[in-house]
Amino acid sequence: MSVADYDVAIVGCGPVGATAANLFGQAGLRTLVIERETAPYPLPRAVHIDHEMMRYFQAVDLARDILPLMREAQGHIHIGADGGVIRYLGSKGLAKRFGWANDYFFFQPELEAALRAGAQRFPNVSLLRASVNGITQDSDGVTLTCGGETARARYVVACDGASSFVRKQLGIALRDLNFEQPWLVVDAELGGPIHFPPFTGVPAEAELENLSVMLCDPNRPSTLVPGRGRHRRWEFMLLPGESDEAMMQPGRVKELLAPFVGGEPHQLLRAATYRFHGLIAERWQDRRVFLAGDAAHQTPPFFGQGMCHGIRDVANLAWKLAFVLKRDGDPDLLATYQIEREPQVRAVVDAAIAAGRYICERDPQAARKRDETLRAAMGKPAPKSASDLIPPLAAGVIESTTPGAGARFIQPMVVSDGRRMLLDDATGGGFVLLGPPGFAAALAPSAAAAWQALGGKSFDIGSAAMDDVEGALIGWLKQHDAAAVILRPDFYVYGTAYDAASAARVIARLSAMVT
C-alpha cells in the first residue's frame, strides 16, 4: 500500500516535529507527519522555551492557546560553594524587546498536545501512525517505508530525536564535543511551597521560586527548575561510584528532595538518569533529507536551549522549503540551512559546556577560586541571558554588507488601523520592508517588480497601518544608520538600506539569492 505524494514528510511528532507541522501547514505545503506513538509522551522532558519560540507560536496563531500553559520565569541564579550568589541573570521587569518574556517553563505533554491539535487545523497536514524502517532517495524525492506502507515526499525533515533512525540510515556521524556528565533528573508535583536554603547575596528583586537555581556545590552540583503550576524539576549530578539504578530508587530520590520539600506533600512524577553531553551532526542535509532538533545536535541543558534549537531549525527550513516548493525558488537555497544554524547551535553548546564545567567543579579549592572570580565579575558587564548567547547570522541569506543584517528583529507593539498589536500580527509575516512614508513607493519599477515576485509586503512607518507608537522601529533604524529594513519570514534581518536606490540593490541581491 502506498501513501499519496507529499511536499514534505516529517519523521517524529515531538515538540519540534509538531511545530514543523504547524509551520509547514500554514505555508500551504502538503505535509505528512509520521509518528509511531498515538499520544504525546506522558512525562515531562523539555521544560524551557524563550521569546523566540513564543514568536514562532504566535506566527502560527497558537500563542493564545499556549500562553496559559506557560509559567513566565525571571531568569537564572547561580549559588557558589559557600551558599552565596556568584551569578545572577535576572529578567524581572526588563522590556520585552521581542514581544515576549525571556523565559517560560512548561509541562511538555501539555505543550505537545497543543501543538498537535494546532496541526490538525490544516487540511494539507496528514498524520500516519507508523515507524519508519526504510528510506531511499532519488532525483525527484524520497520514499519512506513505514511497515507495510510507503510514503513519497519531495523532501523529508527528520525530527526523530537523539537516537534518530534517519540519521543512522544516512550514515551521518555525530561530532563529540568532549563533555559528558551523568545526572539524575527528578520531576515532582508539590503540595506546598518549595524550601530554599538561606542563600546570601540574593538581589532584593529576585524571586527564587521563579528562577532557575543552579547550586554549584562541589559536594553535589544540582539545579532547581520552576515549572507550570506546582510542577518542579531537580537535576542532581551523579558522583563517582553512584550507579544509575541505585540513584533512581524512590528512597534515594526522597533523600535528595527532602531539604527542598520539607514535610510538604508531593507526588513524584519520574526519576531518570541522563548523560548530559554536547554532540553535533557532521551533516544536517543529505540531498533531500534534513536533520532537525536532537537528530542534528544535542546540548547540555544548562541554558535550557535544547528544544529551542530544534524549533529554530524547523523555522529556518519552513520558509525556505515553502519558497522552493511554492514559488519555484532555487533548491540551492536549502543549502543555507546548516550554514546559518550550525554557528548558532555551536555558540550555545560551547557556552553550555563551559557553564557545565564550572557548575560541575568538585574540587573544593578550585570551587572557591571559581566563586571568587565570578562574584567579582558580577555586573561588570552583566552576563548574557541564554537567548543573548545566540549570535546573529553571519552567512547565508543575508546582505552582510549592511548594518544589522543577520540580527533577530525586535517586535514592539504598534497600532495598525486603530488596533494595538504586536508587529508580526500587523505585518502578517513573510518578507517585509519597513521604511519611512513613501519609501516603498520610491522604489524603481524593476525593484518593485522583484519585491512583488518575492511576495514581499511594504509598510510605511507612521502610517495608519504601521503606527510606531513606542518609537522602537524608528529607534532601531537610527541605531543602525538605516532608513529601512528588510525582514525574512523567520524574523531575522535580511538587510538594511539608507535610500530607495540602496534598497533596490538589496532587493535585487535577495531575489538573485533565492530565485
Give average pLDDT by consecutive 10-residue segment, the chain, 515 residues.
84 98 98 94 92 98 97 94 94 91 94 97 97 96 94 98 98 95 96 93 94 96 93 96 96 96 91 95 98 97 94 98 95 98 96 93 97 90 70 97 98 98 98 98 97 97 97 98 98 98 98 93
Assess whether 341 and 432 both reside in one domain: no
- Distance (Å) of CA 145 to CA 296, 336, 405, 450: 21, 28, 42, 41
For residue 446, what are the contacts with CB-CB under 8 A and spacing of at least 6?
504, 508
The answer to whether residue 317 sits within a structural domain is yes
Q: Are 321 and 188 in contact (CB under 8 A)?
A: no
User: Containing H/E element for 48?
Assistant: strand 48-50
Dihedral-angle region of residue 140 (phi above 0 means left; psi in -120 to 50 means alpha; beta otherwise): alpha
pLDDT at 388: 82
Assess whether 37 and 166 both reside in one domain: yes
Assess whether 474 and 327 both reside in one domain: no
- E-strand ranges in 240-317 read 266-281, 285-286, 289-291, 297-298
Judged by DSSP in three states, 205 sits in: coil
Q: Are 499 and 481 in contact (CB under 8 A)?
A: no
Assess whether 136 and 49 both reside in one domain: yes
For residue 90, what are the contacts with CB-CB under 8 A and spacing of at least 6?
74, 75, 77, 203, 205, 206, 211
The answer to whether residue 493 sits within a structural domain is yes
User: Containing H/E element for 16?
Assistant: helix 15-26
Assess whether 19 and 149 both reside in one domain: yes
HEC-encoded secondary structure of 339-383 = HHHHHHHHHHHHHHHHHHHHHCCCCHHHHHHHHHHHHHHCCCCCC
pLDDT at 379: 77
User: Containing H/E element for 295?
Assistant: none
The answer to whether residue 95 sits within a structural domain is no
Assess whether 350 and 430 both reside in one domain: no
The answer to whether residue 466 sits within a structural domain is yes
- Quote helix, strand, coil % in the chain, to nearest 5: 35, 30, 35
pLDDT at 382: 59
From CA 160, how far away is CA 447, in angstroms rounded? Answer: 42
Read off φ and ψ for residue 17, nearest 5 degrees: -65, -40
Assess whether 147 and 17 both reside in one domain: yes
pLDDT at 349: 95
The answer to whether residue 262 sits within a structural domain is no
The answer to whether residue 248 sits within a structural domain is no
Grid cell locating 453: 515576485
pLDDT at 2: 65
- Distance (Å) of CA 454 to CA 327, 449, 499, 507: 8, 9, 20, 9
Q: Are 215 and 222 in contact (CB under 8 A)?
A: yes
Which residue, of 311, 329, 354, is where some domain finishes? 354
Assess whether 321 and 417 both reside in one domain: no
> How many separate domains does the chain show?
2
Beta bridge partners of residue 273, listed in sequence order:
184
CATH code of the domain covering residue 431? 3.40.30.120
Which residue, of 354, 376, 398, is where some domain finishes? 354
| Residue range(s) defining the domain that contains residue 477 | 413-514
Assess whether 338 and 421 both reside in one domain: no
Of residues 147, 135, 220, the one with CA closest to residue 181: 220
Which residue, of 332, 354, 376, is where some domain finishes? 354
Assess whether 8 and 154 both reside in one domain: yes
Assess whether 343 and 458 both reside in one domain: no
The answer to whether residue 321 sits within a structural domain is yes
CATH code of the domain covering residue 35? 3.50.50.60
The answer to whether residue 32 sits within a structural domain is yes
Assess whether 153 and 295 both reside in one domain: yes
